[in-house]
Structure 1
């Protein structure tokens, strides 16, 4: 049954209820059993153990755990402890993030009303809202949070704030007898009250028609419960990378193990070597480095009013191809503002935004210095200031609205003209009020003006003109020129302005304001046009997004013409703005919507399910979708999108369903976050470049030494020291690297783009070969110099230990210098500034200090099985390792020189 089209009598019969007496005890039991209870559905929660296990469900972590177990069996607990520590740290960080995922449902439940006033078996009572059933007769009044979906029976000046459900900033006046068409949008169902919305003023009575999961709020909750979080591009890339790395390491270890065994080495020796290769090949610092890089991005973005709730969202922002954004408060100021006035046949411009007194009224560029309250302009402003049930409270020039946004805009425009409501109400007191009613389309007050009683009226242009036979002009009152006024109103409407008309009339003292005969032969005074203006900074942010290859789509509950006009002002598209409405979406198939999604910039008059459908169809077009929102209605789409961005002034539901919260409600902050996301991904690539090139250098060094029949040049403990302590801490400063070039002038990365492109892989291999040749060259020199004869290490321990020490130092220094090379894949370190990254310089100093301590500090050098080096030996190691800087700089120079003409060299 469609509740908003059925008659009240039919609905009452359906639920076996009574308008005056309510439900009987038997009917309550039957209704609860048949239609359910008034509770929101609960999301299935993951156990703490399952969340922990999910954190280690990663190929890289698997390899680390295997390596830790193997080293433990070799009675080398130091290596195992360090590897296990890395796994535990990474797991705990992920657990902390994932453990907060259940908060969205708790926030949704907080929106439901805790109690409800109802009539049962003839008695009015208050009971918990969870006990309501379909058929209950419910009473609501100002301040009431609607406890369930209700069909109105009767109402007195009932105005509802539905913004949290529909996204529309304007309050809605409800009326029981309003005709509603089948398929009407939520915001157009004037005879319905919806769970979670709030009564702004008035009172009403209605019958409950939907509870719990069947209510509109319940449907949204159910959608959130069933929705799966989108997988981030970073998760996809790391998963692919982990699988490839696992296969590569397995093959390398197998080849090396077989080659060594065929050469006559013992199984125990080859087992030890395999463990060493595994430790060298696995980038132990990668999970922690990625987490740290993302965390640094979170900190940087927080300073720009963007709070990240899920770490992977930082990088995903950089892959965004479409931003779906709400209009009100994100692209616009979220404050109705009068910008045009037509009075006395003159046109006026009003400056300033929102409800502040800052601004002025001008005509043809000339300011209005003095205002005659009896002129057409003065009368129009005074009517707007007095014919109201709202008020503005000022602190200096800053106004805070208490009441309806439309009335707030009229109060602000009057204040800019010098007609302050508080002052007017003393000199021209209001005697009686006829509240606005949707069916009448006007509001009226009577006021005392000296010895006269005046009737002030505001309302729709059609209704006000039908009341008038004269108009106020500069020379005085003259016959009504209806055509001119309608033309002026059309001009304002074409600018996406909401038009309010004003009229007045002198009436006999004591005349009843509800006497309909009063509303004729009135004098028309003027028009005011208002709208929610677009943010200035949003225009620039949208232009930047377009340069970056990101499509911006406006999804709003507002009307088609209003949304299109705002989109044109914001220049969402340089050519034509295409608009689809919720009704259009209902009439088209998913396939048709998918085809139109790339060509549509604006979706107007949409419902929560429409928003979710739009996001899904964009994702089926392989888009990475960032969805912004602030209301309950946005929560399903926020969760389904690759990135959900909630507004700081939005509901807890929206925030908890999102990946990011923008504190200043500003679209420009979202564009800035996208830029940060791109910078962070570039830095992640720099980190991966550094880690893989150093790990590959270790792999080549060990593999080449085995194939060449050399003794193992590095022990597992030494490799772990290099990988986790030396190059491990060196990765963190790469996350602080500034943007090289303008990343917002590049198109988004394809979602299937790998973490390691071809030119980056070449650099990794090239750097690895340099490290291998340099390390083994120093190692062989030391073996020859100190007389290693090929006997067992027990007989020739000193020369082998000295050679291993020099190989250990050389490889460590290679990696310390290589961190500078990794700051950019193509740009010279001299171009980007060798001293620009201060944290990197500090960490390099710390790494060098730790390396010196590892060689010369008693106890530590015993643990690592190394011996002190002389100055000459240090010079040899340093000189050899510094070659990597010169050779990588040469590669970058040749790559830039040989790049095709016009090709962009990326950072």
Structure 2
């Protein structure tokens, strides 16, 4: 193919090149030292960048979380990766074939996108030529920048918002749908029912309700925008990085800066940044495509074409998939919207978001309120039709009746509640961000407060991930690492030490960061996992620049993974052999891993004292077990080093060799020795565990380490307490036995016991065992695989536990996804960050702040609702009832009801949002997210039957007092007045009686506003006295409370005194004394609630305590 031909070729998912010659790709990875050293590895030291390789808001996980829920299916055309795809035309642009994207007309175009794509079959050299990229130099920085400008960033298409639907939701959603009914009725009452003399009052009410709806819609839009901005800024703090070759050097760039033609390295735990054609692999690379296909089975990668279709061939790594094993290198062929994941993102754009638990609670409350409103409105209508209209003609015409019906609607609906709830969630999300606790959704904020079990990984989460080799052991000798280093440096010719040093230096998947090579060896940063970094420092400190890697050239490797718990390297230690005799050569195979996993594969050991290989008999196995137990009890991770000679049958650098090594090389191993590696606990881990325990949250450990190692760390940080040894699997078996199990009359209490289980034992537990296990207060699960961790979470959830999982590794991802709240550290792997619901940027103890805020959001929402309901609902419905059923002149107009709900109460509720937590917030048990509703019977009792009744009685008393003092009409005369309240009643004219009524309504209104001061002071503390937690002094100081109360009073004065409003809505000026008389009544409400708190504190099991909120 000529250069001119190649320049005329263009490609992307919508428009592909002419068919290229089909050539089977046979390029294989060359396992040499240079390739090994060039591998990109994550820093293992604490000084590594905290935000390295995390999730961005443009990642597949973030897009999926915003556009899909768990029940949403993947479009049928994407459920298999076999597509019929169309061929594209080419277009040349400068030095690179930039794609021209045609509009995608619909499903058929999406299905035909990849049918004749040939990037998976074209020869590698031809692909490099087509993409105008050097396989050894990569793209130039200038060339990459130009492609980025022309092609756009490597991000997935965002869901296009349907603004019409969004607007309709704002205007007609929630309570607004009922308010629109009120608008229509008010308009009808104005005209035609009000003809020939329509009352401006009804028109004014209709306009006012419309204003309320518009204000709610505007605030909802602002809240959505502000929340989206906050959440996007949170996700932007988690940038995703890729390791690319630019100008001949490997460098790290943001994923959204990756362009077509970039050569990218990927390794276990990475998220594939774009659609790649694999050009090198470790032979055992596998991908998790579940995010795309819904299938959990991993897909093996290859450098060879395995299928004619682009999407089925295993030499294509798809954007958004996770590397679950191995490593490799590929060249980018598709990015962003042109990738396969980009097509899926478009296809799933119409999937609705799943409502959060708070939204579900609000919906539940709306349904209850709407039901009560409809029942009362219907009762008023039928009462008017069947009794009032006939018995008291002229008392209430159709317009008056409809006004009362709408008064009922306005009274029952707390119009300000949606605004208050939205503000609360927004404020809590911002507080979490400020505390370096980054939730990916508001639902996470709510759920975190419900968590009652935290299952935490150990390494890197509870510990610092700063590993150091502290012990060296042989079956017949144990020494410290420092002593071993000294002996090696002194030239001690003990073969066991020499072999151990060689194995430690060769069988390691880590390298020193080039930028830290000038530092002392203990201070150098390493690239790779922390365990291998510790082994590397130990071996290099013993003999710096030993040259052992050149003597024993690595020719193959099986990397460590959390399932197998071992790694293997194959080394050529005889460079003089003729290549023709390669098939007869034997190589040095070194295997490093968990002792309990490798021991069954061993047949001999090298004796330190006898300096020779001896059979691994039963006595020797007991010696190894004793060494492992000793080191594990000191909280050391034990690594077993073994070796053997092996003559492979398959050619070097092939997938066949990888399979052969995995099947045949793990037998007849010779034990060299063990390394004890210590990883110190984080300084804040013990305090975090203790705080969680005080908050009623159980703290379990799930570790891939040996159980005794995990138990030793657990005892250091307080997961295990007490002096007694933990229960084991044998204990569970004894309890399972009928002869030793407790009788049915005596329920055993395991809450103060500790339990230690190994991974192999988890699979043997039956349901009865899990019933017991899930009641333990202290548990360490050792040797956990990813499947074990997910099983633990599922069993806890089946028994009603709200679970959180903390972790940072690839093996934590399934459990992070399965948990109610997945919590990852910002320094964790890509796959962990993708799976998590919440990311901790700061120290591990910031999880406490997240839990505190999660509980606080629920507590403050309950306070806000408890504050709104007495005046905004209960005290407003009784004036309507008194008017319709008792014949009292209407004590409160619909206009003033709306003012209370939307304006005066709103400012006070906003002040409640800013309340600090109560003293016992973190000492109370977590709420049950299945049973404990946001608005429960206790809140209804507190708001309606306690505070609400007092406010209703006091407000009516002020209404009747005004009539008695200023009109001389006693309350007894107003009861059952009905149509008697007309011209001549107590000698007054119709106009005078109407004036008394509208002023009385203002008195009722002013009284409610002032009574709410006492309500807010009582409601802000559930149990503490106002003396212990007043809003002025420090501790529980709330500087917003007094200004909010004054603003509410100013609004009340304005709406009752402003001449225009008085004329339009029929309000009157309340006499001055009625601004002062309600103040002692408000204090009386506070005193009564203080008495309730005293009764609850003195008799916590009494009847008052049982119904108190």
Distance 1:81 1:27 in 2: 53
Please show how residues 193-212 of structure 1 align to structure 2 within 5 Å.
none
In structure 2, what is the equivalent of residue 449 of structure 1? none
- Cα distance change on mapping 1:258 and 1:442 into 2, 3 Å: closer
Q: Which residue of 2 aligns with 1:814?
A: 1011
| Structure 2 residue 978 is matched with structure 1 residue 799 | no
Counterpart secondary structure, 1:314? helix
For the pair 1:888 / 2:1089, whether they are aligned, the reply is yes
Task: Please point out which of 1010, 1031, 1048 is paired with 1:847.
Answer: 1048
**CA RMSD for the aligned pairs?**
6.2
Pick aligned residue for 1:391 from 506, 512, 516: 512
Contact 1:165 1:633 in 2 (8 A): no
Mapped pair 1:877 → 2:1057? no
Q: Counterpart of 2:361? A: 237
What secondary structure is seen at the aligned counterpart in 1 of 2:851? helix
Structure 1 length as normaliser, TM-score?
0.68
What do residues 551-571 of structure 1 show as CA deviations (whole Å, max 9, x unaligned)? 556667x47759965885563
The answer to whether the Cα contact below 8 Å between 1:103 and 1:656 also exists between their aligned partners in 2 is no
**Residue 763 of structure 2 is aligned to residue 763 of structure 1:** no
Q: Mind listing any 5+ residue stretches in structure 1 that lack a counterpart?
A: 1-15, 116-127, 132-137, 167-173, 177-190, 207-211, 351-360, 447-455, 504-522
User: Structure 1 residue 32: deviation in Å?
Assistant: 7.4
Distance 2:1106 2:488 in 1: 61
Match of 2:933 among 754, 768, 790: 754
1:786 matched to 2:987? no
2:756 maps to 577
Structure-2 change in CA distance of 1:305 and 1:578 (3 Å): same
| Residues 556-705 of structure 1 aligned to structure 2 (within 5 Å) | 558=704, 571=719, 574-580=753-759, 584=763, 598=774, 602=781, 606=785, 619-628=797-806, 641-650=819-828, 659-664=837-842, 666=844, 668-695=845-872, 696-705=874-883
1:821-860 correspondence to structure 2 within 5 Å: 821-835=1018-1032, 836=1036, 837-856=1038-1057
What's the offset of the Cα at 1:258? 4.5
Q: Which whole-Å CA distance do the structure 2 matches of 1:745 and 1:399 have between them?
A: 46
From 223, 240, 248, the equivalent of 1:93 is 223
Contact 2:697 2:925 (C-alpha < 8 Å) held by counterparts: no
Distance 1:488 1:192, change over 3 A: farther
1:60 equivalent to 2:175? Answer yes
Match of 2:677 in 1: 530
Assess, with a 3 A threshold, how the Cα gap between structure 1 residues 642 and 487 changes in structure 2: closer, same or farther. closer
Aligned to 1:315: 446
Please state how far the C-alpha of 1:744 moved relative to its aligned partner: 3.8
Deviations 1:727-752 (A, max 9, x none): 11111222232223144442432512
User: Any conservation in 2 of the 1:79–1:717 contact (CA below 8 Å)?
Assistant: no
Measured after TM superposition, the shift of residue 812 of structure 1 is 0.9
Moved more, 264-273 or 232-241: 232-241
Measured at CA, do residues 158 and 405 of structure 1 come closer, stay the same or move farther in structure 2, by a change above 3 Å? farther
Whether the 8 Å contact between 2:234 and 2:439 is mirrored in structure 1 is no
**Is contact 1:817-1:885 (8 Å) kept?**
yes
Aligned residue for 1:246?
A: 370
Instruction: Return the alpha-carbon distance in structure 1 between the equivalents of residues 379 and 548 of structure 2.
Output: 96
Which of 434, 437, 440 is matched with 2:553 structurally? 434
Q: Does the C-alpha gap of structure 1 residues 845 and 721 become closer, same or farther in structure 2, counting only changes over 3 Å?
A: same
Q: Could you tell me which of 515, 518, 541 is aligned with 2:688?
A: 541
**Displacement of 1:847 after TM fit?**
2.5
Structure 2 distance, partners of 1:72, 1:551, is: 59
2:447 is the counterpart of 1:270: no
Which residue is equivalent to 2:73?
Answer: none
Cα 1:700–1:409 shift into 2, 3 Å:
same
State whether structure 2 residue 907 is matched by structure 1 residue 729.
yes
Cα offsets for 1:541-560 (capped at 9, x unmatched): 3454455454556667x477
| Contact 2:1056–2:1069 (Cα < 8 Å) also in 1 | yes
The whole-number CA distance in structure 1 between the counterparts of 2:1068 and 2:172 is 40
The 10-residue stretch of structure 1 (32-41 or 575-584) with the greater mean CA deviation from structure 2:
32-41
Superposition map of 1:117-266 within 5 A: 232-259=356-383, 261-262=388-389, 263=392, 264-266=395-397
Structure 1 window deviating more from structure 2 (782-791 vs 292-301): it is 782-791
Q: Which residue of 1 aligns with 2:1100?
A: 899
For residue 678 of structure 1, report the CA deviation from its aligned partner.
Answer: 1.8
Distance 1:741 1:559, change over 3 A: closer
Residues 158 and 796 (structure 1), Cα distance of their counterparts in 2 relative to 1, 3 Å cut? same
C-alpha displacement of 1:723: 1.6
Q: Which moved more, 1:804-813 or 1:387-396?
A: 387-396
Change in Cα spacing, 1:94 to 1:719, as seen in structure 2 (3 Å) is same
Distance 1:164 1:434, change over 3 A: farther
* Structure 1 equivalent of residue 58 of structure 2: none
User: Matched residue of 2:203: which SS?
Assistant: coil
1:84 match? 214
Q: 1:158 to 1:768 in 2, by over 3 A?
A: same
Q: Are the aligned partners of 1:68 and 1:84 in contact in 2 as well (CA < 8 Å)?
A: no
Q: Which residue is 1:329 aligned to?
A: 460
| C-alpha separation in 2, matches of 1:140 and 1:661 | 25
Q: Note if contact 1:165-1:631 (Cα within 8 Å) is conserved in structure 2.
A: no
Change (3 A) 1:735 1:346: farther
Instruction: Give the equivalent residue in structure 1 for 2:920.
Output: 741
Of residues 674-683 and 546-555 in structure 1, the stretch that sits farther from structure 2 once superposed is 546-555
Q: Output the CA distance in 1 between the equivalents of 2:340 and 2:699.
A: 28
Structure 1 distance, partners of 2:228, 2:369, is: 26
Residue 682 of structure 1 and its aligned partner are, at CA, apart by 1.7
Alpha-carbon distance in 2 for matches of 1:650, 1:338: 22
- 1:142 Cα deviation after fit: 9.6
Change (3 A) 1:755 1:414: same
**How many positions carry a matched residue from both structures?**
790
CA distance in 2, matches of 1:428, 1:853: 88
Please say which of residues 62-71 and 293-302 is displaced more in the overlay: 62-71
Q: What are the superposed Cα offsets for residues 703-724 of structure 1, whole Å, 9 maximum, x if unpaired?
A: 2344332222222222222222
Q: Does 1:718 align with 2:848?
A: no
How far apart are 1:442 and its partner, in Å?
6.0
DSSP-derived class of the 1:528 partner: strand
Please say if 1:279 is aligned against 2:406.
no
User: Which segments of 5 or more consecutive residues in structure 2 lack a partner in the other structure?
Assistant: 1-21, 29-83, 88-111, 121-153, 189-201, 246-257, 292-299, 303-313, 559-566, 574-587, 644-669, 721-750, 970-980, 984-988
Residues 223 and 423 of structure 2 are in contact (CA less than 8 Å); yes or no, is this contact kept in structure 1?
no
Distance 2:772 2:1078 in 1: 63
| Structure 1 equivalent of residue 48 of structure 2 | none
Q: Which residue matches 1:773?
A: 953
Partner of 2:732: none
Q: CA deviation at 1:302?
A: 2.4
Please give the per-residue CA displacement for 1:119-147, whole angstroms capped at 9, x wherever unaligned: xxxxxxxxx9999xxxxxx9999999979
- Is residue 385–residue 420 contact of structure 1 (8 Å, CA) maintained in 2? no
**Structure 1 residues 268 and 745, CA, compared in 2 at 3 Å: closer, same or farther?**
closer
* Greater strand fraction, Structure 1 or Structure 2: 1
The residue that corresponds to 1:401 in the other structure is 526
